Amino acid sequence: MDIDYEVRAVPAEVRAQLLVADDFGRAAVPFADPEGGAPLRCCLRRSEAGESLALVSYAPLRRWAAGTGTDPGAYDEQGPVFVHAGECPGPDGDEPYPFGGAHRVVRRYSPEGRILGGTLVGADGIEDGVRDAFDDPEVAFVHVRAVEYGCFLYEVGRP
C-alpha cells in the first residue's frame, strides 16, 4: 500500500518569529539575493534573483520537541536556513520532495526525538529513502538534509 507522507516547510508563524529573533537570538538581516538559487525553507523552492531573503538560525528538532513535550537532549542542534524576509506564499506542492537532484541524507527520528539512523540517498532517491525510513514503525518523522553542508531542508512526517 502506498502512503503519501507530509512534507513540512518552516511554518509561516515560525518564519515570522525567526525574522524577529532566530533560534540563536539574533534579529534577521534581510538582503536582496544577488543570483538566486538559495533553498528557501519557507516555501520549499529555490530563490529568484532580487528576492528579499534572510539567513537565520533554526532549530527544527527543538521546536518539534517543544510542541510535543519531549526533550531532544544532546540531539538538539541549530543551523542556517534561508527564508523569505518579506511575503511568502508558502509551498505550492508542485514538487512532492523538493530540492532533489543532489545527494541527500534522510535522517530518522524516534517519537522521543532521538536519531535512529540516516541514509544517504542519490540525486533522485529522496522518495525511496523516506519510504524506507517509514518502514520502521519506530520512526516518527525524518529530516531531509543537504550532504555538502549538512543543513536541514525539511521535515517529512506521517499524515
Q: Which pTM does this prediction carry?
A: 0.93
Q: Which residues of the chain have pLDDT under 50?
A: 1
Residue 20 in domain? yes
**pLDDT value of residue 21:** 98
Of 52, 84, 116, which residue constitutes the final position of a domain? 84
Are 129 and 59 members of one domain? no
Provide the domain count of the chain.
2
> Domain containing 14: what range?
6-84
**H or E element: which one contains 117?**
strand 115-121
**How many residues are given for the chain?**
159
Q: Which amino acid is at 31?
A: F
Q: Which amino acid is at 64?
A: W
> Which DSSP letter does residue 112 get?
T
The closest of 127, 62, 49, 55 to 95, measured between CA atoms, is: 127
Query: Does the residue 89 lie in any domain?
Result: no
Same domain? 14 vs 80 = yes
Q: Give the integer Cα–Cα distance in Å for 105 and 71.
A: 23
Q: Is residue 77 located within the same domain as residue 108?
A: no
Strand (E) or helix (H) holding 78: none
Q: Residue 6: helix, strand or coil by DSSP?
A: strand
Question: Residues 80, 114: one domain?
Answer: no
Co-location of 12 and 49 in the same domain: yes
Q: What are phi and psi of 67, to 5 degrees?
A: -75, -20
Residue (of 120, 129, 126, 81) closest to 101 by Cα position: 126
Q: Is residue 90 part of a domain?
A: no
Last residue of a domain, one of 25, 49, 84: 84
* Half-sphere exposure for 70 (CA within 13 Å, toward CB): 18
Model confidence pLDDT, tens digit, residues 119-145: 999 999 999 999 999 999 999 999 999
Residue 27 belongs to some domain of the structure? yes
**Do 113 and 80 share a domain, yes or no?**
no
User: 139 and 111, same structural domain?
Assistant: yes
Together in a domain, 79 and 112: no
* Closest to 102 measured CA to CA, from 147, 57, 66, 38: 147
The pLDDT assigned to 4 comes to 78
- Between the two ends of the chain, the Cα-to-Cα distance in Å is 14
**Is residue 94 a part of any domain in this protein?**
no
Q: Per the domain annotation, does 69 fall within a domain?
A: yes
